[in-house]
Amino acid sequence: MSPDALTDEALLGACRTGDERAFATLLRRHHPALVALARCWPGGAHEAQRDVALAWLAVLGPVRTEPSTALSVRARAGREVARAATRRTNLPLEAPDGPLVDPDRFFPAAHELWPGEWADPPRPWGRAAARRLSQADMPRLLARRVRELGVAPGAALTLRDIHGWSAAECAAALELSEAQARSLLRSARESLRAALEAEIDSR
């Protein structure tokens, strides 16, 4: 059977028997997201690749009996990437000290109709605004803005919105509760939207 037809768990088992094609398939499926996760911590491409290599070694190691084996393969790998990057930089996954967006742009938590929602939402993007950001500019701009979010919000947004991981996988990889991960993701989305609004206005 082609490795492409196997589940991640089946591929992981094949990897442990020395199947190089199985490992190549796992890398093709998940390596880009894991490198992007590692890049949420300070450092360059070399450091990120090393973090991911350490993560794969940990995941491919002896089968564990701990509850984490119930996680998907990529969630386990993501957790190991986050641990390796944290050890490398001594920057733990913590929520930002303050709000990522000006609090005055939101209704207060006690608002009768829209508690905590946008009071001054970002303006809709029209065609003219889209033309100001070329297709070549957008990837570089997004990458820079995601890094500026900080480690924890950037990691949450990278896994959920850029690479499409589930809420449970994102929370498990970052070793957070799903409620904590949702809070980080919301803050990251709001901040990124406001940052892109400012970028468009400046052009």
Q: Residues for the chain: how many in total?
A: 203
Residue 80 CB neighbours (<10 A): 22
CATH of range 103-201; options 2.60.120.260, 1.10.10.10, 2.170.150.20, 1.10.357.10: 1.10.10.10
pTM of the predicted structure, to 2 decimals: 0.81
The residues of the chain that CATH labels 1.10.1740.10 are 3-89
Q: What integer pLDDT is reported at residue 57 of this predicted model?
A: 93
Q: 180-197, pLDDT tens digit by residue? A: 888 888 888 888 888 777
The residues of the chain that CATH labels 1.10.10.10 are 103-201
CATH of range 3-89; options 3.30.1360.120, 3.40.50.410, 1.10.1740.10, 3.30.1050.10: 1.10.1740.10
Q: What integer pLDDT is reported at residue 174 of this predicted model?
A: 94
Give the Cα separation of 91 and 62 in Å (integer).
Answer: 28
Q: What integer pLDDT is reported at residue 112 of this predicted model?
A: 76
Angle at 39 between CA 44 and CA 49, to 5 degrees: 65
Report which of residues 166 and 120 the model is more confident about: 166
Average pLDDT, the chain: 84
Look at residue 110 and tell me whether its pLDDT is greater than 90: no
Look at residue 36 and tell me whether its pLDDT is greater than 70: yes
Q: What integer pLDDT is reported at residue 3 of this predicted model?
A: 78
Amino acid at 28: R
Q: 73-93, pLDDT tens digit by residue? A: 999 999 999 999 999 999 887
Report which of residues 115 and 162 the model is more confident about: 162
Inter-residue long-range contacts of 120-123, CB under 8 Å, 24+ positions, other chains counted? 122/193, 122/194, 122/196, 122/197, 123/197
Look at residue 149 and tell me whether its pLDDT is greater than 60: yes
Angle at 124 between CA 158 and CA 195, to 5 degrees: 45
Query: Average pLDDT, stretch 36-44?
Result: 94
> How sure is the predictor about 122, in pLDDT bands with cuts at 50, 70 and 90?
low
Tokens of 192: 């990124």
